[in-house]
A and B are shown apart, each in its own frame.
Chain A
Amino acid sequence: MSGVRMSGKEKALWYVAAVAIVVYALFPVAWIFSLSLKPASELTDNRFLPTDVTWENYRLIVSGDAADLFLPALRNSIGITLIATAIAVVMATLTAYAVSRLDFPGKKVLLTTALAVAIFPVISIVTPLFNMWRAIGLYDTWPGLIIPYLSITLPLAIWTLSAFFREIPWDMEQAAQVDGATTWQAFRKVIVPLAVPGVFTTAIIAFFIAWNDFVFGISLTSTDASRPVPAALAFFTGASQFEEPTGATSAAAVVVTIPVVVIVLVFQRRIVAGLTNGAVKG
């Protein structure tokens, strides 16, 4: 990006475009945040800013009527997502390393199959999975969600990570071996540290996929033993059956957005490309 000189007019245009995109993307989020601060009576007043700010909706989901539904769901979401992410990252790192470094029969088949699995429509496998999980006792359990999450996140993770591994000069690993490292030491002390940006990128992708999932969450669970937040939101009820639980839902939506924002902010610095600068001539 650097080195490109822009005239003042061009610069202004870029700023206008950037602001427009940011507003377009963030406006719904802002609206939900505003909704979560409104009392029930004002929810449908069609105004952006709440006239009198209340934390009632947040109290409702943390210690009020909706807490029984929301808190276990939050626990499930965090637990399931973290476990799925951890497994996906470890397995994807090892697989991607093998794919990028070794030549073995069936490598192409493995990669294309992985990609095919990733692009398979989720909705078409949910019903068979529902039946299978019930038959083997995985229905409404944590592993019952972790496994399908892995099947979607792993292929993407393998593809992303093997691209990162391919960027690392093979000489680095050979240098480590000549310096006295075993294959495993070379992998752990040289290759993995160099692939850190890739590992974090993969972790974030895996986390998002699991955290945002709704279809599996609602189909493969039935109680708060394993129901994640996106599915639990659908079970919120208003004060009466004629009242929409909009306020509570908005508050819950804001709460589940926070970890995502935090994670991106924390890891953003780690996802810097060009870490391999200086490894080789340049």
Chain B
Amino acid sequence: MATITLDHIVKKYGDGFPAVNDVSLDIKDGEFVILVGPSGCGKSTLLRMIVGLEDITDGDLTIGGTRVNDKAPRDRNLAMVFQNYALYPHLSVFENIAFPLRLAKGKHSDEEVERRVREAADLLELREHLERKPANLSGGQRQRVAMGRAIVRQADAFLFDEPLSNLDAKLRGQMRTEIARMQRRLGTTTVYVTHDQTEAMTLGDRVAVLRKGELQQVASPRELYEEPVNLFVAGFIGSPPMNFLPAQLSGTTLSLPFGDVEISADVARRAEGAEFLIAGLRPEHVEDAETLEGPRRERGTTFEVDVDVTEWLGNELYAYVPFSPDERVAAKLAELDKELDGESMRHQMVVTLDARSRVRDGDRARLWFDPASLHLFDPSTGESLTRDEERARAIQADTEEMRRQALERSREHAQAVGQGAPA
């Protein structure tokens, strides 16, 4: 168990290009932190610096209060699960899991090694596979062996480098819950790298979003979703991604491609002076006006659009609404899209409607949204103009409290089990 502190960490390669630039991050004891970002954002490099496989160019890395910049990986007492698992093919599953224990010569008796490996194998349901070789295992089983090797050692922290990216969708979902369960149960500090935002949102106590080696925002999944600090974070978190629309402000009236809405005087004052703005609207915040009733409908505004294509998924319906943006905004949006690994060829708004909606391809539809759910961004800096710091702090305090309680529960539970009391 340990805290991990990154203090102005920099990684420069031979050509002077900073792969990781000035990243500071405090990871609390027992916390599950996700590093997320599009490919090439430096998240894996950062993880490899924590474990010691990459040198740190500048800054301090402390684990459990000790500076470890110059320590070899084996002296840092961390356990890592590699993207390709890196199992030892010449050893049985048992010996693969026992490998770290065998390396610590003299520290563990044979019985203890046996007991610890069996414990880990039970936790991961690998007991009947212990004598097999990795080559004879399925992808999910290999993944579990890699995890077994990590947990057998009682390391100070677990590091995961995109551990699920080689599994198919169904297995990925199962293993994701398995990892969450394991981490809660063991209460071990965990750093997890992924490019998959579902993994980031579901697993993390806190999520650190990286872009081109720079930290954008570190916050709970809920804060990232509700109060993103900038365009990049807003566009990265959420699926389908947030729609970015060109907007023009006059007074407190915002002109969107589909009509005008009123915004709060507070936000309008912050946006003052900007010639044009980018408005962000989450697909799930738009509804089909026909399926809405009562007071909720009163709170929002409705507008008419031409729907291009629809996709019915059973539980919801995606509708695509084309629009033509201002040239100045178009360039900015294209740039952002590229940064987010996107490859959109046309400007369209995606909206997620209720599955009961009768809207179909080519329809003219009446849609509804609440202007309060609208995000506004300054196109020149990309910063959010609608972020409510007070609310963000409240979310932060709330999620931290929930995390602390969950951790306490799991430790109490572990203690109870350890003492032989009924679980």
* A contacts, CB < 8 Å to B: 169, 171-172, 174-182, 185, 189-190, 193-194, 196, 275-281
How far, in whole Å, are A17 and B87 apart by their CA atoms in the complex?
42
Say whether B134 contacts A278, CB under 8 Å: yes
B52 contact set on A, CB distance < 8 A? 177-178
Are B82 and A171 within 8 A (Cβ)?
yes
- Whether, in the assembled complex, B333 has its beta carbon less than 8 Å from a beta carbon of chain A, the answer is no
Shortest beta-carbon distance, A281 to chain B, in Å? Answer: 4
B151 at the interface (CB under 8 A from A): no
- CA gap between A177 and B80 in the complex, in Å: 10
**CA–CA, A190 to B153, complex, Å?**
19
B139 touches A178 (CB 8 A): no
User: Quick one: which of B51, B86, B100 contacts A280, CB cutoff 8 A?
Assistant: B86
Contacts of A281 in B (CB 8 A): 84-85, 139, 142, 166
Q: Which of these binds chain A: B59-67, B70-78, B114-122? A: B70-78
Contact of B174 with A by CB under 8 A? no
* B89/A175 in contact, CB under 8 A: no
- Cβ-defined contact, B133 with A179, below 8 A: no
A-B interface contact total, Cβ < 8 Å: 86
A-B contact pairs, 10 of them (CB 8 A): A174-B53, A175-B82, A175-B88, A177-B52, A178-B52, A189-B99, A189-B103, A275-B90, A278-B134, A278-B136
Is B74's CB under 8 angstroms from A180's CB?
yes
Closest to B74 in A: A180
* C-alpha spacing A88/B104, complex, angstroms: 32
Residue pair A279, B89 in contact (C-beta under 8 Å): yes
Give Cα A175–Cα B82 distance, bound, in whole angstroms: 8
Given contacts A194-B90, A275-B89, A278-B89, contact A179 B84 (CB under 8 A): no
Shortest distance from the beta carbon of B49 to any chain A beta carbon, whole Å: 13
Distance, CA A87 to CA B402, complexed state (A)? 64
In the assembly, what is the distance between CA of A189 and CA of B153, in Å? Answer: 18
The answer on a CB contact under 8 Å between B100 and A277 is no
Are B103 and A175 neighbours in the complex by a CB distance under 8 Å? Answer: no
Other-chain contact of B74, A182, A194, A278 (Cβ < 8 Å): A182
**Closest CB-CB distance, A9 to chain B, in whole Å?**
36
Rounded to whole angstroms, the CA-CA distance of A172 and B52 in the bound complex is 15
Contacts A178-B51, A182-B74, A185-B103; A276 near B89 (Cβ below 8 A)? yes
Q: What's the nearest-Cβ distance from chain A to residue B284, in Å? A: 34
Report the bound CA distance from A178 to B99 in whole Å: 11
| B137 is an interface residue with CB less than 8 A from chain A | yes
B135 contacts chain A at the CB level, 8 A cutoff: yes
Task: Tell me which of A171, A193, A196, A278 contacts B142 (CB under 8 A).
Answer: A278
User: Of B52, B82, B104, B136, which is in contact with the most chain A CB atoms at under 10 Å from its CB?
Assistant: B82
Contact A174–B73 (Cβ < 8 Å) = yes
Chain B positions within 8 Å of A275 at CB level: 89-90
Chain B residues within 8 Å of A276, by CB: 89
* Contact call A172/B88, Cβ cutoff below 8 A: yes
- How far is B88's CA from A175's CA once the two chains are assembled, in angstroms? 9
- B79: interface (CB < 8 Å): yes
Complex Cα–Cα for A196 and B88 (A): 13
Q: Are A178 and B53 in contact (CB under 8 A)?
A: yes
Interface residues of B (CB under 8 A from A): 51-53, 72-74, 78-80, 82-90, 99-100, 103-104, 133-137, 139, 142, 149, 153, 166
Contacts known (A172-B86, A190-B88, A280-B86); A177 close to B137, Cβ less than 8 A:
no
CA distance A182 to B73 in the complex (A): 9
Is the pair A180, B103 in contact by a Cβ cutoff of 8 Å? Answer: yes
Q: Is the CB of B84 within 8 A of A178?
A: no
Q: Within the assembled complex, what's the spacing in Å between the Cα atoms of A178 and B47? A: 12
Q: Do the beta carbons of B87 and A179 come within 8 Å of each other?
A: no
* 9 A-B pairs closest in CB distance: A278-B135, A278-B134, A175-B86, A280-B84, A171-B86, A179-B100, A281-B166, A279-B89, A180-B103
Q: B86 touching A181 by the CB < 8 A rule? A: no
- Nearest-neighbour CB distance to chain A for B144, whole angstroms, equals 14
Instruction: Known contacts A177-B53, A178-B53, A179-B100; decide if A277 and B82 are in contact (CB<8 Å).
Output: no
List, in ascending order, chain B residues with CB within 8 A of A169's CB: 84, 86
Assembly CA distance A172 to B80 (angstroms): 12
Chain B residue with minimal CB distance to A275?
A: B89
Give the complex CA separation of A176 and B95 in angstroms.
13
Whether the pair B73, A177 counts as a contact (CB closer than 8 A) is yes
Tell me how far the C-beta of B135 lies from the nearest C-beta in chain A, rounded to whole angstroms: 3
Residues in chain A near residue B83, CB distance under 8 A: 171
A279 touches B86 (CB 8 A): yes
Q: Known contacts A169-B84, A176-B88, A194-B88; can you find 15 more A-B pairs with CB under 8 A?
A: A169-B86, A171-B82, A177-B74, A178-B52, A178-B74, A178-B80, A179-B99, A180-B74, A180-B103, A189-B103, A275-B89, A278-B87, A278-B134, A278-B136, A279-B87
- Complex CA gap A279/B146 in Å reads 11
CB <8 Å contact, B89 and A194: yes
